Amino acid sequence: MSEPVVGRFAPTPSGRLHLGNVLCAMLACLSARQQGGRFLLRIEDVDVPRCPRALAQQAMEDLRWLGFTWDEPPLFQSERTEVYEHHLALLTQQGLTYPCFCTRARLQSLLAPNLGDTQVVYPGTCRDLSPQETARLLTQRSPSIRLRVPDEELVFTDGLQGVIRENLARDCGDFVLRRSDGLFGYQLAVVVDDGLSGVSEVVRGRDILSATPRQIYLQRLLGFPTPHYVHIPLLTDAHGRRLAKRDRDLDLSALRMRYSPEEILGILASAAGLLRSYHPVSWDELTNDFSWNRVCREDMRLRFPD
């Protein structure tokens, strides 16, 4: 018999939870529960200055109010520095990392805004510094730590987005595992935490799809199995326009004043295609009827009941 599914929701509590976050959490939880699996919560507060503990507590309180339950005490990334240090050391021992002294300004200057670039492909400036040069630069500034990536195609199949191919060297370049301020980067923390928690299914927003090949590469290097990925479409307004991330009307503080938990679940379930038409809905009803076949593959349009 195969192992039970382990799903998770991993919010970054740099603000109040937003409807888009709740949609990811809901689909992740429904999928795990419907398969008889477990569901975990992880607080991605690795960037401690941006994620005060009070916001994490608030996110957990909002999730409980919505009726979420999780099967283990939540992990807080801010408490796991030693675990990330250990895994970074494993990569360093294999000669896969190097210190990078490039400043943010220098990397920004490599962007070609007229080509619509938003992400720099790191050109490998510090990849082959001599030991002498490294020692000299270390007296001037603290480096970030990058991972060397191979010039080969990485392929995986996403549950909603289909087959995804990426060549890490061409599309992203050597990427940061630890920032120059000492904080661990998102890619390493996510991979280590999903791996050690036995997460086998990752449901999250399509905005993170482009990070997935880097995470799969790290899993392979660290010996973790690759989970099944499902990247869900973005929530839009009723006209198909992308929601502004900072739209306060759609965060839980505003929504809790207007709607009950069953109404919010109903709004999200109908946007996702799980209900033919809007009605307030319970977790039991959603779990019994859940199937990925019914979830929209296009943008999910929000409509609020009058």
* Shortest CB 21 distance to ligand GLU, Å: 7
Binding test (CB under 6 A) with ligand GLU, winner from 18, 19, 44, 219: 44
- Binding of ligand GLU by 234 (CB under 6 A): no
- Which region among 5-13, 92-100, 139-147, 278-286 touches ligand GLU (by CB under 6 A)? 5-13
The Cα 184–Cα 79 span in angstroms is: 12
> Roughly what angle, to the nearest 10 degrees, separates helices 19-34 and 261-272?
80
Nearer to ligand GLU, 11 or 213 (CB): 11
Phi/psi of residue 50, nearest 5 degrees: -90, -10
> Roughly what angle, to the nearest 10 degrees, separates helices 212-222 and 186-197?
60
Pick from 215, 87, 98: which is nearest to 147 by CA? Answer: 98
The Cα 222–Cα 237 span in angstroms is: 41
Nearer to ligand GLU, 24 or 275 (CB): 24
- Which region among 7-15, 68-76, 81-89, 166-174 touches ligand GLU (by CB under 6 A)? 7-15
* Shortest CB 160 distance to ligand GLU, Å: 15
* Residue 96 CB-density burial (10 A; 0-12 exposed, 13-18 middle, 19+ buried): middle
Binding test (CB under 6 A) with ligand GLU, winner from 12, 97, 144, 270: 12
- Binding of ligand GLU by 45 (CB under 6 A): no
Handedness of CA 55, 59, 64, 70 (dihedral sign): negative
Nearer to ligand GLU, 14 or 134 (CB): 14
Nearer to ligand GLU, 229 or 283 (CB): 229
Q: Which residues bind ligand GLU (CB under 6 A)?
A: 10-12, 44, 190, 204, 208
